[in-house]
Chain A
Amino acid sequence: MSTPVLRVRDLRTYFVTERGGGTARAVDGVSFDLYPGETLGIVGESGSGKTVTSLSLLRLVPEPPGHVLPGSFIEFEGRSVLELSPKELRAIRGAQMAMIFQEPTASLNPVFTVGAQVAEAAIIHQRLSRRAARARAIEMLALVGIPDPETRADAYPHQLSGGMLQRVMIAMALVCHPKVLIADEPTTALDVTIQAQILELLDRLQDELGMGVVLITHDLGIVAGTADRVLVMYAGQVVETATTRELFARPLHPYTEGLLASVPRLDAPRRRLHTIPGQVPPATAWPTGCRFHPRCPHAWEKCASEEPPLLAGGEEPGHLTRCWLQTEPGRRKAQ
């Protein structure tokens, strides 16, 4: 395999909470590689740390209250992102590593036309003239499937639908042909038929541009349909990682198993849904030992006291699970 375009090692992003609530360890030791042309799905529930992970990659975490701990390491194309000067960082953001968010309306400026906003990145990063940048913006709007792009370029955000705005966001993110696209719940706010359009668009553009995509989502169905590999996050940590096919065929971590079993499925007979008891603990007070142990049906004494490392398992190399069952499979209870 080629060299990763993005390497993350032991990323820790903490927040000092107000009112002396303590330190929220939102991201607590996350590592992964992203290869060119690959889609890495990061899946987890609210509070798992997936969004803070994505913001940390571009150093978009507000400091204070947040800070990335020393010892964390993010490498983009061989350069250490955490050691870049503000100027160097600006040169990378938007040009080589771009991001799209869940709510396009919150990310677009209401008083500029969408064409001007797409062109802006090309003017800043590629030093195009206004005229050339506008032509480039129109080209991008056409690429993301906006009908009549020359007219739409002069529209203001409020004149476009949610699906169209998300296309504009994608055009904006891709105008400089980034090597890495970080997509944080890009379709969560959209209707299901529009979601299908956007996912297909991202897939096509990734093929054409060969970029690596980090796709953050809570939707296991989207991960199954688009990701090559998956990271499952819980309580600020990666609890399981594998290729998509392997993860869905042989989930090893009880949290992954629980998540898969709790989704109502169109393609399966109706049954009572599996539930994971309790809820995600607050980031200021992760449980000791395995952070999932209070909710785990298999947990024993060791799980409450000793934190498991990522252990190899399954049938493919690279399938890792943060679970002591890997060392003592006999402890698994029949369900």
Chain B
Amino acid sequence: MNEALVVVENLEKRFSGSQGLLGLGRRPPVRAVNGVSFEIPAGSTLGLVGESGCGKTTVGRAILRLIEPDGGRVIVDGVDVRAQGPAELRALRRRMQIVFQDPYGSLNPRMTVRRALAEPLAIHGLATGAERERRIASLLEEVGLDRRLADSYPHELSGGQRQRVGIARALSVEPKFLVLDEPVSALDVSVQAQVLNLLADLQERRHLTYLFIAHDLAVVQHIADEITVMYLGRVVEMAPAAELYEAPRHPYTAALLSAVPVPDPGAQRERIVLTGEVPSPTNPPSGCPFHPRCPHPRKDERCRTEAPALRAVAPAHVAACHFAEDPI
């Protein structure tokens, strides 16, 4: 396997509790990200999945320091991201970029596609004049957009075209690492397939490393080499994509997988329908944070009192469940 381009160790992010009106209704701080660790080998894709509020988006942003982490270490391409001053951090952003879910919200509505692509080139002093024009044209071509769209405004483009602009903008500074935060969730099925194929092509051509954040397990399973599952701010399982699907060890992963609708009416699948909802991260359950919803038949007192550690259950496969050896 390639050497890790991205190393995340014990990442922590707390959001301070809201003060409430007149200091009333004060809430305790939320541990949005709680000791998350993983590595991403150069040129590969790590999929990060979980339901809303599990902290997956916060992890992506904390790695890039779009929000400041409260603890832990982040190494990208050999550089300790948290040790960088403001100027160094700006320079480092050339190597790591992010693509958001809603390209409509992340593109300036008053900027043409050309200006949106020229801006990062100017900020990082990468190209001027004719060279800049040439780069913009080649970026558009690389993401499969007609060159004539360069003078369009975001509202004149379709969702798929806007997402291609978002990807081109991220690529303009020639990064090595991309955080893809739900990049296809807002797109229609047929357009989603186009963008997923584009991302796979770009990765191969440019040897990019991806952190692919999504709630759709089928999409993540399709694109990721390895998958990390989060629940209430923690990693509960991590494994190579095929293995995670074939043999999930954590009951939450098993339930997530079984809840994904499969486009085959004849599919005989055992559905694990979880009862209850994701508990509030302000007041996580004691012991294993998943225990109130856990369908595991062997669930016992230990689950309610003792938080299971994330431990190796197979080569390259870790899970945080007391009964990982006896999966459902």
Contact = CB atoms under 8 A, between A and B. Distances in A.
Given A45-B188, A193-B255, A270-B222, A219 B261 contact: yes
Interface of B: 51-52, 158-160, 188-194, 196-197, 200, 215-219, 221-223, 245, 255-267, 271, 273-275, 277-278
Given A267-B267, A275-B194, A275-B197, A220 B256 contact: no
A156 interface: no
Given A219-B261, A267-B267, A273-B197, A191 B51 contact: yes
B215 A262 contact: no
B264 A224 contact: yes
A225 B273 CA distance: 14
A200 B273 CA distance: 9
A224 B193 CA distance: 20
B167 to A, nearest CB: 16
Contacts of B192: 262
B193 A275 contact: yes
A265 B189 contact: no
Given A192-B256, A259-B190, A267 B262 contact: yes
Nearest to A269: B242
Nearest to A267: B262
By CB atoms of chain A within 10 A, which of B217, B219, B265 has the most? B265
B259 A263 contact: no
Nearest to B186: A46
User: Which 4 A-B pairs have CB atoms at the shortest separation, nearest pair first?
Assistant: A221-B261, A264-B222, A262-B193, A191-B51
A224 B158 contact: no
A218 B188 contact: yes
A64 B191 CA distance: 32
Most buried by B among A220, A223, A262: A262
A193 B262 contact: no
Contacts of A191: 51-52, 215, 278
A275 B215 contact: no
Contact of B197 (A164, A192, A272): A272
Interface string A143-180: 00000000000000000011110000000000000000
Nearest to A259: B189
A199 B191 CA distance: 26
Given A218-B189, A220-B189, A266 B265 contact: no
Interface in A179-211: 191-197, 199-200
Contacts of B200: 272
A131 to B, nearest CB: 31
A244 interface: yes
B196 A273 contact: yes
B143 to A, nearest CB: 14
A264 B263 contact: no
A258 interface: yes
14 contacts: A191-B278, A192-B217, A218-B189, A248-B263, A263-B189, A263-B193, A264-B196, A264-B219, A266-B217, A266-B260, A270-B221, A273-B196, A274-B193, A280-B188
B190 A161 contact: no
Contacts of B263: 220-221, 223-224, 248, 260, 263, 265
B277 A163 contact: yes
Given A245-B266, A267-B262, 15 more contacts: A46-B188, A192-B215, A192-B217, A192-B259, A193-B274, A196-B259, A196-B273, A221-B261, A245-B265, A262-B190, A263-B189, A264-B222, A264-B223, A266-B262, A275-B193
A191 B216 CA distance: 9
B320 to A, nearest CB: 18
A273 B191 contact: no
Contact of A248 (B216, B222, B265): B265
Interface in A218-276: 218-225, 244-245, 248-249, 258-260, 262-267, 270, 272-276
A260 B194 CA distance: 14
Contacts of A265: 218, 222, 262-263
A219 B267 CA distance: 16
A279 interface: yes
A46 B186 CA distance: 11
Nearest to A199: B261
A203 B87 CA distance: 57
Contact of A276 (B190, B223, B258): B190
Contacts of B218: 221, 263-266
Contact of B277 (A46, A164, A258): A164
